[in-house]
Amino acid sequence: MGNRRRWWRITVVAVMTALLTWSLTGCWDDKSLDTRTLVLAMGFYPARQPGQIAVYFAIPTPAGLTSDSGSSSSGGASGPPIIILKGVGHSIGQAFSAAQASTNRDLYLGHTIFLLFSTKLSPKALRRLVNALDRIGTLDKTPFVAATSAPFASVMGTIPQEHFPPLYYEELFSCTTCQQLMLGVRFWEMSDRLWTPGVDLVLPLLRPTKQGPAVDEVALYRGTRYVMTLTPKETAAYAIAAGLSRKTSIFFPRLWDTNLDFVADKAHVATRIMHGRLQATLAIHATATLESIATPTETAAQVAAISQKAAALLADQAVSFVRLSQRHDVDALGFGRSLAWSAPAIFSRYRHWHQIYPHLNVSVRAAITINRLGDVR
């Protein structure tokens, strides 16, 4: 009798999962493109009704599809580049069905390239959303993802159609800190971080402005709970500590008016038990170009002094981010993950890593290799 009941429950769950998956594909069988509506972006927000979510679907119009080429001849198509459909429900399936009912074409997720998550989503809602998105067969796992505190329409309205969106979110340029930051996150990376013990989620945060979307900040999560948004300066420090900083400019007016540009920034995290105590290290190595120096020629002693000064500056910025992340109990660099990989038995002793991380002893080392290839005067 017990086996029969168990078989019945398994069958019901399998049927419900299959129905949800089919409904989210936007089609029950193969259909031609002229019967489909391609969804470029999706936004996920808390609904007014408790326990429900609002899902927004950004759909390109004929004007939007023809504006990518940058040509003025668009076959007479005019109007807004996208339209937005909205569905509300207790699940993605219900929200999808509600939005589908407002159009006579099948919503198709096979070409979705951007997912936007509101920072106001509850931890439970975010967990349910990522779980459901992971199971949608037609949704590719490579769309870029971002967080925002702004309405979906406001964010989408500030994204130039010719930049929408992949390359724009792969290398985020921050004019505030004069850094190019590799902070783009794909959906599979988001999912991987959420379900991997010992590392927390970091998403680029979008703010709509008159000049376009500002993308010089990141949102930190503890598990699926939104914790805080870093300032542009703190985001730059995170990028250095995570090995994601590119083309960073450093100017030393007291060292022969020296100007350095980063070529690459790599970081390595290691956590282990040493002498019976938990120890963690963050090692940063950057390669920089000597762009200018106010001497006829640079000497080996000058290059060594500049390298030492720049390395100390990088280390200080990385330390400031580590301390900030420990105060807010967000292991964005994955010190716990490093321990789980290298010593899983030891990591398993810590039932709640977030009780350990704020007190973790972290040492930071930084080094810079300078290439004398710039415009040295």
Residues with pLDDT less than 50, the chain: 2-23, 25-33, 68-76, 166-176, 375-377
Residue 319 within any structural domain of the chain: no
> Count of domains in the chain?
1
How large a percentage of the chain has pLDDT more than 70? 78
Contact 40, 56 (CB under 8 A): no
Q: How many CA atoms lie within 13 A of 170 on its CB side?
A: 8
Residue 102 within any structural domain of the chain: yes
Residue 15 within any structural domain of the chain: yes
In terms of residue numbers, what domain contains 119?
1-170
H or E, element range at 349: none
Residue with tokens 């963050």: 282
Residue 280 within any structural domain of the chain: no
Closest to 204 in 3D by CA, of 337, 335, 329, 332: 332
Q: Write down the pLDDT at residue 70.
A: 41
Cα torsion 270, 271, 274, 279: sign: positive
What distances in angstroms separate CA 272 from CA 37, 277, 315, 324, 355, one per listed residue?
A: 52, 8, 21, 22, 17
Per-residue pLDDT tens for 36-93?
688 889 999 999 988 899 999 998 876 555 554 444 344 445 556 678 999 999 999 9
Q: Write down the pLDDT at residue 223.
A: 93
Q: Write down the pLDDT at residue 297.
A: 74
* 282 strand-pairing partners: 269, 364
Q: Write down the pLDDT at residue 213.
A: 75
Residue 105 within any structural domain of the chain: yes
Residue 295 within any structural domain of the chain: no
Cα three-residue angle 291-375-259, rounded to 5 degrees? 20
Residue 91 within any structural domain of the chain: yes
Cα of first residue to Cα of last residue in the chain, in angstroms, is 87
Rounded to two decimals, what is the model's pTM? 0.81
Residue 69 within any structural domain of the chain: yes
Q: How many CA atoms lie within 13 A of 56 on its CB side?
A: 21
CA Rg value for the chain: 24
